[in-house]
Amino acid sequence: MRFSPSFLDEIRDRVPISDVVGKRVTWDRRKTNVSRGDYWACCPFHGEKSPSFHCEDRKGRYHCFGCGVSGDHFRFLTDLEGLSFPEAVQQIADMAGVAMPQPDPQAERRERERTSLLDVMELATQFFQDQLQAATGAKARAYLRERGLTGRTIETFRLGYAPDSRNALKEFLAGKGAGKEQIEACGLVVHGPDVPVSYDRFRDRIMFPIHSAREKVIAFGGRAMSADAPAKYLNSNETELFHKGNVLFNFARARRASQGPDGSGTIIAVEGYMDVIALHQAGIENAVAPLGTALTENQLDLLWKMTPQPVLCFDGDGAGIRAANRAVDLALPHLKPGRSVRFALLPDGKDPDDLVRHEGREPFDKVLANARSLADMVWMREVQGGGFDTPEKRAELEARLRQVTSVVADESVRRHYGQDMRDRLNAFLQGSAPFRGERRPFERGGRDRGGRQGGFRPAGGDRNAGPTTISDRLARSSLVSGQQAAPSLRESVLALTIVNHPQLLFDEYDEISTIEFDHRDLQRCWAAVLNAAAANGPRLTREGLVEQLEAEGFGALIGALDQQIRYARLWTATTAAAPEDAREGYLQALALHKRTKALNWQRRELERELAHATEEGDLEAVPQLLRTLQEVQLEVTRLENQEAIIEGFGVLSGRVKGPAAR
């Protein structure tokens, strides 16, 4: 019996290959990474003592680096157990819970018709490619050149042009022997009871072929050349070959790229065809795009089949944030252990095509490196723009977070999401301001009604005076209560320089907006700074920013940072510094900050690997891990000792040594 490729694909996709192979081997615990679908075992095809047999769920393939055998689900069963191919298909179908197809002459006829439709689509692709290179395609070629596409990229994606004629494609296909019913079934012409004579669906458009997972052209997207066209982008309609919600543009090519040494298993979902193509030309080949609509559940499943944690990339404007929030709601119910998504938000007003065309791939790589977790996106969405200064509002926030996380179907993931949100909420509410202006018991200075020491009072103030009005978020910080350590000098430089020179934020936005502070109060203050920048744009002044921060309760924090900076004589962070000196000092502090963060992360990872190797008795790995850990620790110590260099940033610039230099 002949099985259709679509049936074989369906049962392969439903059954992880590790489920098939795992019944016959024992996975090596040390080398296997279950969350990534990456498995190792001793090869069942030849005797060995160390595991060289590799199995990947993402690829649906196995390979032994010892004896060289490789294959898929069916090959494993036919080669290892001697099953016939139909018997192997039957076994996988049973595991998938899919009934075997019965001999069906009509089904076989439909499969033949489907194959013939693919032939028609291939002819149409060649026609569009030829038209792009002909005289009629001059305007389209000029447009593609303006968009920065090379001839090689155009050829790689098989871009074409549909001429401005009602019947050019239809007549071409008819001349090649394609029947009327086939042309209509491919969605290449507009037809129906209300259309006396069918005509070409795509006219005067740049054509983007859309491929199936098996790299056959199954549909087209067309970009209008005329500004008066009713639709800028037009896709093929639903056909026997094409179901828009089940397809991703560039799926097959991105899957291959993600499996290569540079892909590291990552898949990036962007919003449009041109974004994918521009990223490919810039060397980022593992990008896909939905077809002009919001990401669907089936498309998200396709992403997860390629990688356990795809990156969803959205424009940083309001529409992009709304699309990202829709993707949050789409993904949450389907999370599983080791399976999630991350979100990369582009600078406002930029899309991937703009970014890499004008600035190269480095800015886009930075956007990817700063991608946020799904939990971060949930938290940011729920607290954004909210005031939580009453018990009712805080209870409402808590209820919303509980409701959002309750949709996660997997019990384990749902439990961890609930705990994560509770931890964030507790930390956040400790810094809210429900008692702004109230005198609170057990604060330093003054006395409460019971005669106990209480109330905060500035140094040198009247002992009998009432408490100074401060926000609750600051009353809980180290600057008042001593419960949290003061910000590091480096973090104080990073925060206060921007407050005193806000134009820096717009000059170096991509670098500066992604800073992560360790100090809790600075984290909240920084969020307020970014909100002010977003609301005011380049018109933001120091006076306006300080006024807004004081209104939100950060006045005392800013004053404390200013004292700390002046005591350390770090004049580049003060208002006295010239803009160019402030910028140079800031970027040096930022480089040191990022390097320290990266080293501390590397140190934690090495400590984790060392603990794992010790537990597993991997004595060969321990000495090398220890040496590497010592090297990293030495570098961390060296950078910590260099903290004093911050004091000399102005000196290093050769222009500023404090106000006296002016």
pLDDT score recorded for residue 111: 61
SS (H, E, C) 238-282: CCCCCCHHHCCECHHHHHHHHHCCCCCCCCEECCCHHHHHHHHHC
Out of 3.40.50.1400, 2.40.30.110, 3.90.580.10, 3.80.10.10, which CATH number does the structure's domain 5-96 have?
Answer: 3.90.580.10
Q: What is the mean pLDDT of the chain?
A: 80
pLDDT single digits (tens) 43-56: 888 777 788 899 99
* Sign of the Cα pseudo-torsion (248, 322, 547, 469, in order): negative
Rounded CA separation 447/275 (Å): 64
Q: Please give the average per-residue pLDDT across 466-488, as a whole number.
A: 42
Of the two residues 495 and 260, the one the predictor is more confident about is: 495
SS (H, E, C) 534-599: HHHHHHCCHHHHHHHHHHCCCHHHHHHHHHHHHHCCCHHHCCCCCHHHHHHHHHHHHHHHHHHHHH
pLDDT score recorded for residue 249: 96
pLDDT score recorded for residue 335: 94
CA 476 to chain centre: 34
pLDDT score recorded for residue 105: 63
pLDDT score recorded for residue 193: 87
Based on the number of CB atoms within 10 Å of its own CB, is 430 exposed (0-12), middle (13-18) or buried (19 or more)?
middle
pLDDT score recorded for residue 391: 87
| 414 pLDDT higher than 90 | yes
pLDDT single digits (tens) 183-218: 999 999 999 888 889 999 999 999 999 998 878 999
| 311 pLDDT higher than 90 | yes
Confidence of residue 459 (pLDDT cuts 50, 70, 90): very low
117-121, 302-306, 513-517, 597-601: range with highest mean pLDDT = 117-121
SS (H, E, C) 187-218: CCEECCCCCCCCEECCCCEEEEEEECCCCCEE
* Contacts for 562 with CB less than 8 Å, ≥ 6 apart: 496, 574
pTM for the whole structure? 0.55
pLDDT single digits (tens) 569-608: 778 888 888 888 888 888 888 877 877 777 777 777 777 7
Element (H, E) at 70: strand 70-71
| 73 pLDDT higher than 70 | yes
Confidence of residue 319 (pLDDT cuts 50, 70, 90): confident
39 secondary structure, DSSP code:
E
| 446 pLDDT higher than 50 | no
State the Cα angle at 362 between 356 and 364, rounded to 5°: 60
Distances (CA, A) of 86 to 16, 562, 646: 19, 77, 71
Rounded CA separation 44/54 (Å): 11
Q: For 388-397, 413-422, 474-483, 575-584, which range has the lowest pLDDT when averaged over its residues?
A: 474-483
- The interaxial angle of helices 555-567 and 520-536, nearest 10 deg, is 110
Q: Please give the average per-residue pLDDT across 398-405, as a whole number.
A: 92
Rounded CA separation 546/231 (Å): 47
* Contacts for 621 with CB less than 8 Å, ≥ 6 apart: 609, 613
pLDDT score recorded for residue 20: 93
Domain with CATH 3.40.1360.10 in the chain: 258-429
Rounded CA separation 360/563 (Å): 41
| 292 pLDDT higher than 50 | yes
164 secondary structure, DSSP code:
S
Q: Which of 313, 312, 309, 326 is nearest to 354 (CA)?
A: 313
| 415 pLDDT higher than 70 | yes
* Contacts for 191 with CB less than 8 Å, ≥ 6 apart: 184, 198
Q: Please give the average per-residue pLDDT across 414-426, as a whole number.
A: 92
Domain 258-429 has CATH 3.20.20.30: no
| 490 pLDDT higher than 70 | yes
372-376, 522-526, 615-619: range with highest mean pLDDT = 372-376
Bridge partners of 33, per DSSP, are 38
Domain with CATH 3.90.980.10 in the chain: 105-242
436-440, 478-482, 553-557: range with highest mean pLDDT = 553-557
Of the two residues 620 and 3, the one the predictor is more confident about is: 3
Q: For 16-30, 465-479, 481-495, which range has the lowest pLDDT when averaged over its residues?
A: 465-479
The percent of residues in the chain predicted with pLDDT above 70, rounded, is 82
For domain 105-242, which architecture applies?
Alpha-Beta Complex (3.90)
454-458, 515-519, 575-579: range with highest mean pLDDT = 575-579
| 374 pLDDT higher than 90 | yes
Rounded CA separation 232/292 (Å): 11
Rounded CA separation 308/266 (Å): 8
Q: Please give the average per-residue pLDDT across 323-345, as a whole number.
A: 92
The percent of residues in the chain predicted with pLDDT above 90, rounded, is 36
Rounded CA separation 325/4 (Å): 39
